[in-house]
Amino acid sequence: MISIRNVSKWYGEFQALKKCSTEVDKGEVVVICGPSGSGKSTLIKCVNGLESFQEGEIWVDGISVADRKTDLPKLRSRVGMVFQHFELFPHLSILDNITLAQCRVLGRSKKQAVEKAVLLLEMVGLAEQQPKFPAQLSGGQQQRVAIARALAMDPIAMLFDEPTSALDPEMINEVLDVMVKLAQFGMTMLVVTHEMGFAKRVANRVIFMDRGEVVEDQPKQTFFENPATDRARQFLSKILTH
Amino acid sequence: MYPSLLIPLVAVSASAAHGFYLSPFTFHLSPLTTLAAFDFSVFLRPSPESALNNLSYLLVGLGWSLLLALASWVVAFVVGSVVGVMRTLPGRILPFIGACYVELFRNVPLLVQLFIWFFVIPDMTPILGDWFKQQVPPIWQEFIAGTACLGLFTAARIAEQVRAGIGSLGPGQLGAGLALGLKGRQVYLLVLLPVAYRILIPTLTSEFLNLIKNTAVASTIGYVELAQRSASMAETTSRVYEAFAAGTLLYAVLNLLVMFFARALERFTALPGFLGGRK
Amino acid sequence: MVFDWSAIPGSLPILWQGMIVTLQITLVGVLVGLLLGTLLALFRLSPNRLLSWLSAAYVTVFRSIPLVMVLFWFHLVLVPLVVGLLFPGKRLELRFIAALTAFSLFEASYYAEIIRAGILSVTKGQFNAGLALGMNRREVMRLVVLPQALRRMVPLLLTQAIILFQDSTLVYVINLDDFFRKAYNIGNTVGTLNEMILFAGAVYLVICTSASGCVRQLHRKFTVLPVK
């Protein structure tokens, strides 16, 4: 489904990504972890073209992201993204946040869009919050709405960029629960996160990145029990003792 | 705002000083003398400049100032928004053009720009320019030149504010809009600008107030607005303090009205849960 | 479109005289404006209610009326006032003094706001830290708050000075001969008004663009990163 091949990116002199490669099959859940500055967010933003890259290729469902002829907005409408800071649109109600792109990009009628939105809000447990505005919701609630907003586009895959990093501890679980449900549903997911509990539960594979490189790319069991590299071992020991 | 209502107080003390210099030897601090030195009836006497009395003469001037300000504001808001947005776009060419515009219109004095619009451009434009100079009545010549000048001048300032407003939203909002599949134009119109304008209401209000004050510069090309009229009333009636106190008061009242409307607008467009700030 | 720039070289001495007037107005306006503005800002921030109110009134009045009107006012008021007190004469001088007074008092209100905002931007925490170390109010202001505040204010103060430099052209309304007025007069006399206006505009453009460029550089060097 998602194919990343030898992707390299430079910010001027600084190389943010060094020949990164991996594959995500349909229905797979792949977690990317690593220290800050390792390029995880940059890599995931390259997948839907929010960041550009100078070398390599990325293919999403057979479409090349870097190709000039690719209709990027169309591609983006088929791949959902959830951001670290939720990024709900503050001037629109929760319902409007979810229906905006459905109507403007997919061309659905307002009625269809609203029906879908209500359904998704029920799925994430926020049906009563419909008429409210983002500023009136807690962080965990906002992030769940953001997930619903991305799901409303009926994506073929979902990208998560540190979805729980900006949340207070009590709210992390309500968001992770939604993500677990989604994984169990069979959604193809690429998740950048520090939440190893989540990885242990639903990930198929774990990728470890450090300083712009993909250092490890293992099935979940192997990664947690027997990481191949020292760097990964060090990282795990630091993260898991907390 | 309440301090501005001290203006009558200032005017009264000024007139006391006026009484003093007229005759330091017979001046005494009796309230009657103070009031007698301050002649309110001058406003009701007919003005030599027009068929109205002096007060109406000033009020009409206020009207002309406001008219110029409103017309210029329309130009400024539209052009300023376009240039401001241009400066936030990716790429090199459009932001650069925007930057050049802002630098050009901010680094030439307003008066010089006005003269360029009133004298130089009609002279230089082949057909329209001649029509402008010959067929258009003088007051409208001044009005058009003033609108063009003030509009584009203020647009440069608005552009900077729009740029800052959009910038303050952070790159995340743009990313979130694009990630949903919205095109760039849609993200600006549906997501970025609606929020940015709400944040900018206070700065845009103060910009509009600046614009009202700047309309006084149009008096140099003969546009009869309030500042010019209060000066001319001062000269014709020799009641300097009264004339200027009235002019000052009228500007202050206009200020208060604009701020009142701005606050109402802020309340009307407020988003539930927002306490007037972001994140 | 044929331009006749021939009038410019010969008139440079006269234009320079006008520029001197412009610079004098700018300089005096900035210096007196800064002094008075600082005073006003401190009054506004003082716990004395009367001082605070008077300062607020001053700033509000001068910020709600156009500079043109202030110029008219001082020109029409100052002349009879001074003539009434002294002997008639030296009328041209009075225009200049009127302009200097008007600009100084006008700019003071804008500087007062910049300074006040600058002082307020230094958090109360810093102020309290100074007090806790045993310094009195005045010492804290002088040694802790003002140095930090000044670093933030300087770019804004300089920008305001550039604005004043541009606003000096408004002495046109009281018939004072500054650089622009001289250019205009020459243009009128010689018959190349358009060229002179454009030339004057170009001069201002060059001066102000380089000045604001310098201010931007200075701003980058002076920026104090807030302690998180």
CA distance linking residue C116 with residue C127, whole number of Å: 15
Low-confidence winner among A118-127, C198-207, C213-222 (lowest mean pLDDT): C213-222
Chains C and A contact (Cβ–Cβ under 8 Å for 3 or more pairs): no
Indicate the pLDDT class of residue B276, thresholds 50, 70 and 90.
very low
Average pLDDT for C156-162: 92
Q: What is the pLDDT of residue C66?
A: 92
Do the bridges between strand A55-60 and strand A63-64 make them parallel or antiparallel, or are there none, so unpaired? Answer: antiparallel
Q: What is the pLDDT of residue C11?
A: 83
Indicate the pLDDT class of residue C84, thresholds 50, 70 and 90.
low
Average pLDDT for C95-112: 91
Q: What is the pLDDT of residue B75?
A: 96
Chain B CB contacts of A88 under 8 Å are 176
DSSP B49: T
Low-confidence winner among B196-200, C9-13, C52-56 (lowest mean pLDDT): C9-13
A9-56 pLDDT tens trace: 998 889 999 999 999 999 999 999 988 888 899 999 999 888 889 999
Give the count of Cβ contacts less than 8 A between chain B and C.
133
State whether A50 and B191 contact (CB < 8 Å): no
State whether A73 and B198 contact (CB < 8 Å): no
Query: C67 to chain B: nearest residue by CA?
Result: B213
Strand boundaries in A29-131, DSSP class E: 29-33, 55-60, 63-64, 79-82
Asked if residue C145 has pLDDT above 90, the reply is no
Asked if residue B168 has pLDDT above 80, the reply is yes
Beta carbons within 10 angstroms of residue A78's beta carbon: 17
Asked if residue B80 has pLDDT above 50, the reply is yes
Average pLDDT for C75-104: 73
Q: Closest Cα partner for C4 from C179, C192, C167?
A: C192
Listed by start position, the domains of chain B span 51-269
Torsion angles phi and psi, residue A67, rounded to 5? -60, 130
Give, in order, the Cα–Cα distances in Å from C51 to each of A17, B70, B252, C41: 61, 37, 21, 10
Asked if residue B277 has pLDDT above 50, the reply is no
Q: Closest Cα partner for C110 from C212, C40, C46?
A: C40
Calculate how close chain C gets to B10, using CA atoms only, in Å.
10
Asked if residue B240 has pLDDT above 80, the reply is no
Q: What is the pLDDT of residue B133?
A: 80
B172-191 pLDDT tens trace: 899 999 999 898 888 999 99
CB-based burial, C110-136: b 16+ in 10 Å, e otherwise: bbbbbbbebbeebeeeebeebeeeebe
Q: What is the pLDDT of residue B31?
A: 37
State whether B110 and C166 contact (CB < 8 Å): yes
Calculate how close chain B gets to C136, using CA atoms only, in Å.
31
* Topology annotation, domain B51-269: MetI-like fold (1.10.3720)
Give, in order, the Cα–Cα distances in Å from A77 to each of A90, A120, A232, B122, C169: 21, 17, 34, 52, 56
Indicate the pLDDT class of residue C90, thresholds 50, 70 and 90.
low
What percent of chain B has a predicted confidence (pLDDT) above 90? Answer: 43
Provide residues of C within 8 Å CB-CB of chain B. Answer: 1, 53, 56-61, 64-69, 72-73, 76-77, 80-81, 84-85, 166-170, 172-173, 180, 184, 193-194, 197-198, 200-201, 204-205, 208-209, 212
Indicate the pLDDT class of residue B10, thresholds 50, 70 and 90.
low
B133-159 pLDDT tens trace: 887 888 888 999 999 999 999 999 999
CB-based burial, B144-164: b 16+ in 10 Å, e otherwise: bbbbbbbbbbbbbbbbbbbbb
**Whole-number mean pLDDT of chain B?**
82
Give the pLDDT of chain A (242 residues) as one tens digit per residue: 899 999 999 988 899 999 999 999 999 999 999 888 888 999 999 998 888 899 999 999 989 998 888 888 888 889 999 999 888 888 888 999 999 888 888 889 999 999 999 999 999 999 888 888 988 999 999 999 999 999 999 999 999 999 999 999 889 999 999 999 999 999 999 999 988 888 888 899 999 998 999 988 989 888 888 888 888 888 888 877 65
Low-confidence winner among B38-52, B258-272, C103-117, C198-212 (lowest mean pLDDT): B38-52
Chains in touch with B (3+ beta-carbon pairs under 8 Å) read: A, C
- Return the CA Rg of chain B: 24
Chains C and B contact (Cβ–Cβ under 8 Å for 3 or more pairs): yes
> Does the predicted interface ipTM exceed a cut of 0.95?
no
Question: By the 8 A CB rule, do C168 and C200 touch?
Answer: no
Q: Which residues, in sequence order, are bridge partners of residue A79?
A: A157
Asked if residue B51 has pLDDT above 80, the reply is no
